[in-house]
Amino acid sequence: MPVAVTVQVEGAEEAREMLTNIDRHLPLIASNKMRKTANNVLEDLKLRMDRAFIAPRGNLRDRTRLEQKGFLEYNILMPKYGIYVDSGTFPHKVSKPHLFKPWQRKTGTRSLSTAIFLKGTKPKYFLMDVQYRDVPKRLNEFDNEFLAELRKKIKAKAKGGI
């Protein structure tokens, strides 16, 4: 003859209620933390741009911006020539040498456009630094902050908040 055992867990109903209500807070917590993470990655990129090169780069830093693509997706938009600054170029004729004049006066350098025509430009690899160093660090921060915020919401609910 089978024997039935009934087990009653104290606080189970309260835990179930707490978990069913927390799901409405998850999207807001996630989107706030992801926006912060994307802004941090953008700032890391701009900082690495500043450290990578002192030559004129137009307004590359100012024109590099964040665009929300989806719920938790962001794009960092950068002018096309940022790729050439990052990866360097072969020798070529500069299409707008007048852009280099203020920098030449400031640094006392002779024609930078002539140097580019003769030698090209060296790669700076600031994009790879961001991709392989900063992004993993920022995603780890996102995980930690998201879980910490979620724990706070669960504790607040357990104390009668939310």
Confidence at 161, pLDDT banded by 50, 70, 90: low
- Banded pLDDT at 40 (limits 50, 70, 90): very high
Instruction: Give the integer Cα–Cα distance in Å for 78 and 41.
Output: 13
How many residues in the chain?
A: 162
- 92-141 pLDDT, tens digit each: 887 777 666 776 776 666 676 777 778 888 888 889 989 999 999 999 99
Check if the beta carbon of residue 33 is closer than 8 Å to that of residue 146: yes
Residue 4 has pLDDT above 70, yes or no: no
- Residue 90, judged by CB atoms within 10 A of its CB (0-12, 13-18, 19+), counts as exposed
For the cut 70, the answer to whether the pLDDT of residue 44 exceeds it is: yes
pLDDT in tens, 49-75: 888 766 555 678 889 999 998 888 899
Global pTM value? 0.70
